[in-house]
Amino acid sequence: MDAAEELGFPAGLERDALARFLADHVLGRAPGELTARLIAGGRSNLTYEVDADGRRVVVRRPPLGHVLPTAHDMAREFRVLAALAGTAVPVPRPLALCEDPGVIGAPFYVMERVDGLVLRGPGELARLSEQQARRLSDELVRVLTEIHAVDVEAVGLADFGRPAGYLERQLRRWSEQWERSKTRDLPEIDEIARRLRASLPVSPPATIVHGDYRLDNVMVATDDPGRIVAVLDWEMSTLGDPLADLGLFLLYWGQSEAQLVATGAALATVPGLLSRDEIVAAYTDRTGRDTSQLDWYLVFAAFKLAIIVEGIHARFRMGKTVGEGFETMGAMVAGLAAGALETARRSAIPALRGR
């Protein structure tokens, strides 16, 4: 336990240094009282709600240890939020960026606090009426298509990524991340990578890609769970293949290891929630994109998530996680890999089936 925790301030922040930064860059005055609480973290970036004399803001910083190259880039996350503010994509308003790791121990940024709810578990979804569940499903698809419809040149993000060769580069990058993160050998991961390389699809025109779009990375209005008021966690965003977002969203949707990773509980069967097929149909109808190769994106999504979870497991083994629910992460990696191979075996794409 560090000194900050002993004083009742959460790990990952430094009270006096944060107070000075907020005074200079957000508040315009020194806060007399500063409190903070961890509202999400340890599995990825850490997110805190900070109260400075009644002014509540949100602070985001990288995890405490084992940060992989190119991951947890605060400046990129801040930039995309600033670019999307004022578009049809609902995002929190970014307030200040600190790239100096000497202030609190890592780069961080401050954004406005949005009033809303994050629906994390089956119990929260079970309280929705059938009509609310359907509206929420439709809204999730609509907002995803709004992300993919942003004019990147108009919002200043034309150089935000390198869309040419995006899928091949992503596959190579995550294979390298596996080598950096793995705590044991899993031949299934290598086999999945081999099949993905052999069956790379041709990408549609590039768009902004969120990189981790799912139910618990959005906030809904407190008085209307069918309306999304903020899309959160843009740390993996770039320019690339929009179907990568759809594949990952579908992986999380429903009874799967992925939803257990995200929230600790699989989604309940709630009347009104769209099925995976209905989501694909709605997305295809709104965008006109060809989704016939979607199996590849589903397998890649599971491959990528398995590697992310292995990184979380590695941080847990080193004692560098904040929060609860990490002890089962290692076993979930094998489950995700097995699910990916099963999807590949059932696919209509020959090379993905291993042939």
Question: Tokens 């994050």 sit at which residue?
Answer: 118
Q: Give Rg (Cα) of the chain.
A: 20
Q: What is the CATH number of the domain that holds 94?
A: 3.30.200.20
Q: Which residues pair with 219 in a beta bridge?
A: 230
Residue 47 main-chain phi, psi, to 5 deg:
-125, 130
Q: Is residue 170 part of a domain?
A: yes
Q: Is residue 354 part of a domain?
A: no
Q: Which two tokens stand for residue 82?
A: 């600033």
CB 235 within 8 A of CB 132: no
pTM: 0.87
Specify whether 249 is located in the same domain as 312.
yes
Specify whether 54 is located in the same domain as 17.
yes
Cβ atoms within 10 Å of 263's Cβ, excluding its own: 20
Residue at a domain's end among 112, 147, 173: 112
CB 36 within 8 A of CB 59: yes
**First-last CA distance in the chain:** 53
* SS3 assignment, position 38: strand
Residue at a domain's end among 112, 137, 153: 112
Task: Give the pLDDT of residue 330.
Answer: 66
Task: Give the pLDDT of residue 319.
Answer: 66
Task: Give the pLDDT of residue 312.
Answer: 81
Task: Give the pLDDT of residue 3.
Answer: 44
Counting other chains too, the contacts that 293-296 makes at CB distance below 8 Å and 24 or more residues apart are 293/201, 293/243, 293/349, 294/243, 294/246, 294/247, 294/250, 295/343, 295/344, 295/346, 295/347, 295/348, 295/349, 295/352, 296/196, 296/199, 296/200, 296/201, 296/247, 296/347, 296/349, 296/352
Q: Is residue 352 part of a domain?
A: no
Q: How far apart are CA 21 and CA 55, in angstroms?
A: 14
Q: Which two tokens stand for residue 62?
A: 């990288």
Angle (nearest 5°) at CA 248 between 278 and 78: 120
- Domain of residue 232 covers 122-346
Q: Is residue 24 part of a domain?
A: yes
Total structural domains within the chain: 2
Count CA atoms closer than 13 A to 238's CA, side-chain side. Answer: 18
Specify whether 62 is located in the same domain as 191.
no
Task: Give the pLDDT of residue 4.
Answer: 43
In this structure, what is the dihedral angle of CA atoms 253, 254, 255, 260, given to the nearest 10 degrees? 40
Q: Which two tokens stand for residue 119?
A: 């629906």
Cβ atoms within 10 Å of 292's Cβ, excluding its own: 10
Tens of pLDDT along the chain (355 residues) come to 444 444 568 989 999 999 999 999 999 999 988 999 998 654 568 999 999 988 999 999 988 764 544 455 899 999 999 999 999 999 999 999 999 999 999 999 999 999 999 987 667 788 889 999 999 999 999 999 999 999 999 999 999 988 999 999 999 999 999 988 887 888 999 999 999 999 999 999 999 999 999 998 999 999 999 999 999 999 889 999 999 999 999 998 864 544 444 444 445 567 888 989 999 999 999 999 999 999 999 999 999 989 988 888 777 666 655 455 566 676 788 888 998 999 999 999 999 998 7
- By residue count, the chain amounts to 355
Q: Is residue 273 part of a domain?
A: yes
